[in-house]
Amino acid sequence: MTASLPNRMTRYLRADVQGMHGYAVQPSAGMVKVDTMENPFGLPADLRRQLGERLAEVALNRYPAERGEVLRAELARHAQMPAGNDIMLGNGSDELISLLTLAADVPGNVVLAPLPGFVMYEMSAKLQGLKFVGVPLTADFQLDGPAMLAAVREHQPALVWLAYPNNPTASLWDDDVIEAIIEAAPGLVVMDEAYQPFASRDSLDRLKRHDHVLLMRTMSKFGLAGVRIGYLIGRQPLIAEIDKLRPPFNISVLNCEAALFALEHADEYARQAAVIRAEREMIFAALGAMPGLQPFPSEANMVLVRVPDAKKTFDGLKARKILVKNVSALHPLLANCLRITVGTPEENQLMLAALREALQD
């Protein structure tokens, strides 16, 4: 049970914050954890040993300095950053979302995004005191082009978020619709490519053609969710302005060195991503073969599936030590939907077996 805030303190804290719900993380001890889109694979034993030895030599008594610049350069190379662009590091994508929203905090500005989408877009806008406009997707979780363009014309948003692929739907949206939105947008358009390692297309070419487009990626889905490294790419003058808001030393020396080590072994993470993509297709086919289920096509490391009763199925899976995400209450379009992260081959078989049993309860 959560303790109540002392009455004398309520006047000093924002009323809207006191009325909010925090970002919830489900307890997962003893569970097959397929609820938060993490890479389920660890490093091979020899690489774990090498990483441990390397981290042991990091100067923990010093503030982060030059190694952060090395990481920026290595990430730019890894992402094949186009000429004329620059790169900025964040403590995960969440910090970058907050900083971009802060940069757009001008009275009257509007933040716009499709819904359902990543909850932090709306939360960051509201915490910053900006109006948030959500535009519903179509019934099959694609961008509603006419509705999006109408919202852009009406609200003239300072910031448009386009997740590519989207969370929680795993959709990779129509490129012509995205291009029309970018052309119409008066302010920044951020292509959030958190799930890029699992997608068949990316937005690098958009950086070359549009000076108001930013590309945001993370190393979390790459395989380093615990390391918290996000990065933002855009035209140099634009990144220079946003970077003024970045806290000094926002990337720890340990996180930085772990990220550099991972980039040196990108082939191992690419191998893992290939397994995840193959397992995703297996899960999609298996779900489609189960009576009463409707899985939706995925370009991420998760599969969204509509079940007859989301709460009953979620509870049945949890009773069998399988933890998925019940997203059915996040938006009306997600009614009776569960989001299942792609796990290891063994975890995926356990999940599917438990799901078949839970559907019979």
Q: Which of 55-69, 236-250, 347-361 has the lowest mean pLDDT?
A: 55-69
CA R_g for the chain: 21
pTM over 0.85: yes
The pLDDT-based confidence of 23 (bands split at 50, 70, 90) is low
136 preceded by a cis bond (ω within 30 of 0)? no
Neighbours of 129 (CB within 10 A): 12
126 with 155, same domain: the answer is: yes
Residue 242: count of CB within 10 angstroms of its CB:
20
User: Is residue 78 a part of any domain in this protein?
Assistant: yes
pLDDT tier at 1, thresholds 50, 70, 90: very low
The full length of the chain comes to 361
Residues 304 and 241 reside in one and the same domain: no
Provide the H-helix boundaries in the chain: 15-18, 45-56, 66-78, 92-103, 119-127, 145-155, 175-184, 204-209, 236-243, 253-264, 266-288, 310-319, 345-358
CATH of the domain at 28: 3.90.1150.10
How far is 351 from 320, CA to CA, in rounded Å?
9
Cβ atoms within 10 Å of 232's Cβ, excluding its own:
26
Residues 116 and 245 in one domain: yes
149 and 228 inside one domain:
yes
Residue 22 falls inside a structural domain? yes
Cβ atoms of 189 and 164 within 8 Å: the answer is: no
- DSSP letter at 10? G
User: What is each CA distance from 181 to 177, 184, 216, 339, in whole angstroms?
Assistant: 6, 5, 17, 27
Give yes or no: residues 163 and 35 share one domain: no
Choosing from 208, 231, 261, the residue where a domain stops is 261
CA atoms within 13 A on the CB side of 230: 21
Q: What is the reported pLDDT for 230?
A: 96
Residue 2, pLDDT above cutoff 70: no
Helix axes 119-127 and 92-103, enclosed angle (nearest 10): 40
What domain range includes position 12?
7-44+267-358
Segment 121-144, tens digit of pLDDT: 999 999 999 999 999 999 999 999
Contact assessment for residue 130 and residue 153, using Cβ atoms and an 8 Å cutoff: no
Residue 1 covered by a domain: no
Cβ neighbours of residue 209 closer than 8 Å, sequence gap 6 or more: none
Q: Which two three-digit tokens encode residue 61?
A: 């008594």
Please indicate, yes or no, whether residues 228 and 98 belong to a single structural domain of this protein.
yes
Q: How many CA atoms lie within 13 A of 120 on its CB side?
A: 16
**pLDDT at 7 exceeding the cut of 50:** yes
Please state at what angle helix 253-264 crosses helix 45-56, rounded to 10 degrees.
Answer: 140
d(Cα 62, Cα 253) in Å, to the nearest integer? 8
Q: Of 243, 261, 279, which residue is a domain's last? A: 261
Whether 216 shows a pLDDT value over 60: the answer reads: yes
CB contact set of 182 (below 8 Å; sequence gap of 6+):
189, 206, 210, 212, 213
**Can you give the CATH number for the domain in which 106 is found?**
3.40.640.10
Query: Does 215 share its domain with 69?
Result: yes
Mean of the per-residue pLDDT values for the chain? 94
223 vs 54, more confident? 54
Q: Are residues 278 and 354 in the same domain?
A: yes
Q: Is 45 helix (H, G, I), strand (E, B) or coil?
A: helix
Give pLDDT, residue 154.
Answer: 98
Residue showing tokens 């855009």: 234
Contact yes or no for 257/322 (Cβ under 8 A): no
**Could you tell me if 230 and 335 lie in one domain?**
no
Residue with tokens 């030895």: 53
Residues 253 and 305 in one domain: no
217/242 same-domain check: yes
Rounded distance between C-alpha atoms, residue 226 and residue 229, angstroms: 9
- DSSP at 9: G
Is residue 331 within 8 Å of 116, Cβ to Cβ? Answer: yes
User: In this predicted model, which residue has the larger pLDDT, 86 or 24?
Assistant: 86
Do residues 33 and 90 both lie within one domain? no
Final residue belonging to a domain, choices 224, 243, 261: 261
**In this structure, is residue 115 part of a structural domain?**
yes
* Domain presence at residue 50: no
Domain count, the chain: 2
Q: Which of 12-21, 234-243, 324-333 shows the lowest per-residue confidence on average (mean pLDDT)?
A: 12-21
Selection from 213, 195, 201, 247 nearest residue 89 by Cα:
247
pLDDT of residue 288: 97
